[in-house]
Structure formats: structure tokens, C-alpha cells
């Protein structure tokens, strides 16, 4: 009787042990992967906090840990590039930007940061190439800013028509961006579309407490185009008093005083 019951229970016990073993293994695997991802996220988050506070060595320490956890994370190499960029180690910065993009070619944020790096290095053509790919990403949350940066790169390349298109697209996405109004006023002046330039300049001027030197210089030239002597005198006096050592004031003196 006892032997018969034992024989009946043995298969059930074996089945229970097999399934128990499978469940334990499955849970262990998922837990390990989740822990790895969590550790990676934590290390990168700490590194970014140190980057924001300018503690480069601490940031690198946490990023080395992150690379040990996962050496195929595009985000880790992007953060490492930011560290090297800020410490003036530009060769290493570029190397890490390229690693990040190679690992994730659709990572628009890193392309945008890489473009800013290239712009800083005065490599405007390359910066524009990266930004053209960034603005093509219609879901990128900082797309309007990328269009502004693209417009600035085009301005440096003397591609004024392309710059106008980039700035205007940015304006449609971010109408409350006040500095962008100046960029549009400037680009339309260069295109000799003076009424449009004046319109954007007036919108810009009405929303800033104190104009920078370049904006006052643009106001002076627009006032001269439209024969507005009162505005010309007012902006000229402001430029002289506020920015007497600026290149804009030197240009003003050469064009209006030494005629």
C-alpha cells in the first residue's frame, strides 16, 4: 500500500522539481538583466550630475564603471565625449562622439551635441551635415533648437538662403523664442529684404530690456536704410555708451563717422 502511494507520488514530485527549477532560473536571469540595466542607468545619471557641476574626474569614474557594465551603450560614450570636450581634450571628445553615433545612428541628441562640438571647432560644414540629419528626425524634442543651430552654421558658410529657411522653420516651431527674432531680422537684412528685417527687428526690440551690440548695429543700419534719423541717433548713442570697445562700434565709426 505504502509502496503503491510512493510510486504514484514520485512522478508528481519530479514534475514539481523540474518546473520549480525552470522558474528559479527564469527569475534569476531576468533579475540579473534588470539589475545590470539599473546599475548602468545609475552610473550614467551620477556621471551627468557631476558633468553639470563641473566635477570631471568624478564623472569619468562613474562612466568607467558604466562601460564595465555595458560597453555598447551609446549614452555612456556621449557623456564621456562631453567630459573630454569640457576639459579641452578634443581628440578624445570626437572619438567618443563617433563611438556613440556608430552604436546608435538614430541618436539625435548625440548628433546635436556633436554638431555643437564641430561648430565650436569652426568646422561649420561638418556641423551642418550633422544638424541636417538631426532636423530630419521629426520626433526629436529639441528640433527647433537644432534648426537654429543649423541656421547659424549656414550663416558661417555664407549660405544665406538656407539659413533663412532654417531660422523660419525654427520660428514656426518656437514663436516665443526672442533671440530668434533677431536672427531673422539679421538674415533678411543680408538678403536685402529690408521691410521684413525691420518687422522682425521691431518685434525683437520690443521684447528685450537692453539690446546687445550686434542688435544695435543692425538697428542703426536699418534706420539708415529707412531714413529714420531719430532712431539712428538713439541706437548710435546707445552703442557708443554701452559697447565702446565692441567691433560693432568700430564698424559704426568707420561707416558713419569717417565717411
The three cell numbers of residue 114 are 556633436
pLDDT band of residue 14 (cuts 50, 70, 90) is very low
Average pLDDT over residues 12-17: 36
pLDDT band of residue 10 (cuts 50, 70, 90) is very low
> Which residues, 6+ apart, have CB-to-CB distance to 39 below 8 Å?
69
Q: How many other C-beta atoms lie within 10 A of the C-beta of residue 62?
A: 21
> Which residues, 6+ apart, have CB-to-CB distance to 58 below 8 Å?
47, 50
Question: Domain 177-258 adopts which CATH fold?
Answer: 1.25.40
pTM: 0.81
pLDDT digits over 86-140, tens only? 999 999 999 999 999 999 999 999 999 999 999 999 999 999 999 999 999 999 9
Nearest Cα neighbor of 140 from 162, 173, 168 is 173
Interatomic CA distance for residues 34 and 196, integer angstroms: 56
**212 φ, ψ (degrees, to nearest 5):** -70, 170
pLDDT reading at 243 higher than 90: yes
Quickly list DSSP for 63-81: HHHHHHH-TT-HHHHHHHH
Query: What are the C-alpha distances in Å from 210 to residues 194, 201, 207?
Result: 23, 13, 9
Lowest mean pLDDT among 38-47, 75-84, 188-197: 38-47
Residue ranges covered by each domain of the chain: 177-258
Whose cell is 542607468? That residue is: 41
Amino acid at each position: 500500500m505504502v509502496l503503491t502511494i510512493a510510486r504514484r507520488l514520485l512522478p508528481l514530485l519530479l514534475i514539481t522539481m523540474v518546473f520549480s527549477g525552470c522558474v528559479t532560473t527564469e527569475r534569476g536571469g531576468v533579475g540579473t538583466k534588470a539589475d545590470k540595466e539599473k546599475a548602468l542607468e545609475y552610473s550614467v545619471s551620477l556621471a551627468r550630475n557631476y558633468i553639470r557641476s563641473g566635477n570631471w574626474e568624478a564623472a569619468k569614474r562613474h562612466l568607467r564603471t558604466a562601460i564595465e557594465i555595458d560597453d555598447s551603450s551609446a549614452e555612456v560614450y556621449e557623456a564621456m565625449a562631453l567630459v573630454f570636450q569640457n576639459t579641452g581634450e578634443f581628440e578624445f571628445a570626437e572619438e567618443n562622439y563617433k563611438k556613440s553615433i556608430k552604436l546608435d545612428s538614430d541618436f539625435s541628441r548625440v548628433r546635436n551635441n556633436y554638431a555643437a562640438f564641430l561648430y565650436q571647432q569652426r568646422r561649420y560644414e561638418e556641423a551642418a551635415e550633422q544638424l541636417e540629419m538631426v532636423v530630419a528626425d521629426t520626433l526629436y524634442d529639441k528640433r527647433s533648437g537644432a534648426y537654429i543651430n543649423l541656421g547659424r552654421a549656414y550663416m558661417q558658410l555664407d549660405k544665406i538662403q538656407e539659413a533663412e529657411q532654417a531660422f523660419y522653420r525654427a520660428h514656426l516651431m518656437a514663436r516665443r523664442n526672442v533671440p530668434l527674432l533677431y536672427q531673422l531680422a539679421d538674415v533678411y537684412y543680408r538678403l536685402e529684404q529690408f521691410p521684413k528685417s525691420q518687422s522682425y527687428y521691431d518685434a525683437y526690440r520690443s521684447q528685450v530690456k537692453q539690446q546687445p551690440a550686434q542688435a544695435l548695429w543692425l538697428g542703426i543700419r536699418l534706420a539708415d536704410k529707412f531714413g529714420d534719423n531719430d532712431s539712428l541717433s538713439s541706437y548710435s548713442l546707445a552703442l557708443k555708451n554701452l559697447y565702446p570697445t565692441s567691433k560693432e562700434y568700430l564698424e559704426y565709426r568707420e561707416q558713419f563717422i569717417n565717411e
